[in-house]
Structure 1
Amino acid sequence: MEKSLGVKVNAFFAPDYAGIIQGMRFNKVDIAWYGNLSAMEAVDRANGQVFAQTVAADGSPGYWSVLIVNKDSPINNLNDLLAKRKELTFGNGDPNSTSGFLVPGYYVFAKNKRLRQRLQTHG
């Protein structure tokens, strides 16, 4: 990295994203690579600014996250999951993870709740 940039680079190590965010907050970290959730926290807590984003070769932003059930589960799609939501236990990933916490929390639960509320209100 030093060779490519032509400047001295010091590594900063922390056990988790929160530590990197704190390092940025107290001027020990100048630049960091974050996932979406951690980036939002760095903007809020450490006066961070997003200035670049990775994209696929075709230029699309793309994002991948998956829900997994036991192979013998009767749940085969999102409608099955929502129909049995009061009977199921949902295992969240790390609360600091975009793909394991933020994305499923929004797309599976928050977004679907709003959609159901809109249908009940307007239908």
Structure 2
Amino acid sequence: MSFPKVLTFTFIMVIASLSNAQTFTFTAIPDEDESRLVERFSRIAEHLQTELGVEVDYIPVKSYAAAVTAFRNSQVQLAWFGGLSGVQARSQVTGSKAIAQGYEDQFFKTYFIAHHTTGLEKSATLPAALQGKTFTFGSKGSTSGRLMPEYYIREAFNSEPRELFERVGFSGDHSRTIAQVQAGAYQVGAVNYLVWQKKLQAGEIDLKKVKVIWETPTYPDYQWTIRGDVDKRFGAGFSDKVKHAILNIKDEKLLAAFPRKSFVPTSNNAYLPIEKTARKIKLLQ
């Protein structure tokens, strides 16, 4: 049986198109329990795939640095970064842009939390009694778990954390910071305020054991950053389609999993304060 030449040509073109199809990939900094991240971002992948009309894969990573490396090496084209990791990634990939942030990320903040045995109470300023305590940050590359708390510690005490505290640790993520301070493994820690609020609402924090003692002024934090070569790889206007798809996330359960009220537009300029702070304390060259 023979096929008309037009149908044969069309069939060949469809097969060629399928073979040339690319998968759009993205990642996210591992700021919480891995199981929660997989659940959240697998649903984001489904949403993007529906909106963009291409196959979309979420690629989990083990560290903030790994997320930046994956972005730099074009293993992913999009990433959910913190303020600092986003600045680091964009500085290494020409033309990359911050395209959207959570509504709350326009005015983010860090909570300093303390174990009940310290006797520390909530105050308007960083208490002098922090000196000599054991202290844990989150990840070394975290904006809310390391960059901003270290900046304010240095400002308040004119001293580096290792000079100020008896022992300094890096828990790796905000969930572990809360767990370690609540268990008394560290006396004080710095944590993303949204993770604290979510765990508090879930009944996972015992306020008899751990409490908030200070909160930082607000600063810009998490954002979606896209590589500058996406339009070249996926077609003109594709980056705008990605931005629209993210801003168009309306699923209340999905937004609550971040947790965010909505996503709003942003730009690289919004993160200049983070860049300046990172350079000041030598976390960015």
TM-score calculated relative to the size of structure 1: 0.70
Paired amino acid for 2:107? G
Matched ranges for 1:49-68 at <5 A: 49-56=97-104, 61-68=106-113
2:116 is the alignment partner of 1:71: yes
Paired amino acid for 2:100? A
Paired amino acid for 2:68? I
Paired amino acid for 2:148? V
2:79 is the alignment partner of 1:32: yes
Corresponding residue for 2:155? 111
Distance 1:113 1:72 in 2: 23
Pair 86,13 (structure 1): closer, same or farther in 2 beyond 3 Å: closer
Instruction: Provide the aligned length of Structure 1 versus Structure 2.
Output: 109
Checking the alignment, whether the CA contact within 8 Å between 2:64 and 2:142 is kept in structure 1 is no
Q: Which of 134, 138, 145 is the aligned partner of 1:93?
A: 138
Distance 1:61 1:73 in 2: 32
Measure how far apart 1:111 and its partner are.
Answer: 3.1
Corresponding residue for 2:63? 16
Pair 70,55 (structure 1): closer, same or farther in 2 beyond 3 Å: same
Checking the alignment, whether the CA contact within 8 Å between 1:21 and 1:46 is kept in structure 2 is no
Measure how far apart 1:93 and its partner are.
Answer: 1.9
Checking the alignment, whether the CA contact within 8 Å between 2:110 and 2:144 is kept in structure 1 is yes
Asked which structure has the greater CA Rg, the reply is: 2
Checking the alignment, whether the CA contact within 8 Å between 1:92 and 1:100 is kept in structure 2 is yes
Pair 73,31 (structure 1): closer, same or farther in 2 beyond 3 Å: same
Coordinate RMSD, CA, aligned: 2.5
Percent identity for Structure 1 against Structure 2: 27
**Residues 49-71 of structure 1: per-residue CA shift (max 9 Å, x gap):** 21222214xxx822132111122
Checking the alignment, whether the CA contact within 8 Å between 2:72 and 2:92 is kept in structure 1 is yes
**Residues 65-88 of structure 1: per-residue CA shift (max 9 Å, x gap):** 21111223232236462x234433
Which fold has the larger relative contact order, with Cα–Cα distance below 8 Å and residues 6 or more apart in sequence?
Answer: 2
Structure 1 residue ranges without an equivalent (≥5):
115-123
Distance 2:132 2:124 in 1: 14
Paired amino acid for 2:112? L
Paired amino acid for 1:97? S
Distance 1:80 1:40 in 2: 27
Higher strand share: 2
Pair 85,70 (structure 1): closer, same or farther in 2 beyond 3 Å: closer
Structure 2 residue ranges without an equivalent (≥5):
1-47, 159-285
Corresponding residue for 1:121? none
Checking the alignment, whether the CA contact within 8 Å between 1:22 and 1:46 is kept in structure 2 is no
